[in-house]
Amino acid sequence: MKSIYFYWFLGIIGVVGIAVFSLLPVASESDLQLKGTGFSALVASEPFFDFGTISMSAGNLTHTFNIKNTGTSSVTIDKIYTSCMCTIATLITQSGNEGPFGMQGHASIPQIAKVLAPGEEVRVDIVFDPAAHGPEGTGRVRRIVYLETGGGPESALQLSFEAVVTP
C-alpha cells in the first residue's frame, strides 16, 4: 500500500507541471503558418486558395501564387513538387520558366537551384485536374505545392489549395 506522502508528492508534481505548462508561449496564427517553412524569408502573399465547389467535368483549374524573398540575403529554391499527381506547378521568373513539376515518386523532381535576390518576386502557377482520380475523386480535396529552400522538407514553403469536387 502506498503512503499518503506518495500521493501528496504526485499532487505537487501535477501542480508544478500545470504551472510550468501555463507559462509556455502560445503560438499565434502567423507562427502556425510558418510551421514547415524552415522560417525562410520566402513568403507567399496568399499561401492558401479555395476554388470552392467545382465540377470535374469543367476541366483543369489554374491559380497563381505570388512569392517574394522578404529577407536581406538571397534564397535558393532547390526543389518544387506537389502532394498529388493531379497537380502540377511551374515557377515563373523574369528569366524564364522552370517546370512543370509534379508529385515525388510519380515523376523525376530535378534540383533547380533558382536563386532569388532580396526583394525579388516570382510566381508559382498551379494546374489542378479535378478528373485525375476519376469518380472516386469527388468531395473535398486539399493539395499542397512545396518549394524547398535548402533544408529538405522542413525548409519548404507550402502553398495549398482546396476544392469540393462534384461529378
Q: Is residue 5 part of a domain?
A: no
Identify whether the C-beta of residue 28 lies closer than 8 Å to the C-beta of residue 139.
Answer: no
Q: Is residue 23 part of a domain?
A: no
Can you give the pTM of this predicted structure? 0.74
Q: Is residue 19 part of a domain?
A: no
In the predicted model, is pLDDT for residue 70 greater than 50?
Answer: yes
Q: How confident is the model at residue 87 (pLDDT cuts 50, 70, 90)?
A: very high
Q: Is residue 4 part of a domain?
A: no
pLDDT average, residue stretch 78-82: 94
Instruction: Compute the C-alpha angle 50/42/90, nearest 5°.
Output: 60
Q: Domain count of the chain?
A: 1
Query: In CATH, what number is assigned to the domain containing residue 134?
Result: 2.60.40.10
Q: Is residue 61 part of a domain?
A: yes
Structure confidence at residue 27 (pLDDT): 39
pLDDT in tens, 88-138: 999 999 989 999 999 988 777 788 989 999 999 999 999 999 999 998 889
Q: Is residue 15 part of a domain?
A: no
pLDDT in tens, 19-69: 444 444 443 334 434 334 445 689 999 999 999 999 999 899 999 999 999
